[in-house]
Amino acid sequence: MCPGAARMMIAMTIQAVVFDIGGVLEINRDLGVTGMWEPWLGLGPGELNERMADVWRGGSIGTISEDGVRQAVRERLAWTAGSWRSSCLTSGVSISAPPTRS
């Protein structure tokens, strides 16, 4: 304390705690999931992330909502529940199983 300064006690109440799990405090390794989905969706290597780059970025910094990300996936990848079922049935993939690496 500085000489001559009066002692003062300030009490503060914690109102929020923020946990950031989005590549800043935690870095997630690439699981290769994009590479499994691209051929299944009829996309070339790297095309999924090229189409979705601004959406992935917006989702990671909070400028787009989770619903907004889902909507963009539907619009940009022509993704619907019907296309999911149809693709599964025509490719012989079980509807309950995700695509696997070839």
Q: Is position 22 within any domain? A: no
Per-residue pLDDT of the chain (102 residues; tens, 9 = 90+): 566 666 777 778 888 887 666 556 566 678 888 888 888 788 889 999 999 999 999 988 889 998 999 899 888 887 655 566 666 666 555 555 555 554
Total domains in the chain come to 1
Q: Is position 74 within any domain? A: yes
Q: Is position 44 within any domain? A: yes
Query: How many CB atoms within 10 Å of residue 21?
Result: 8
The parent domain of residue 57 ranges over 33-91
Q: Is position 87 within any domain? A: yes
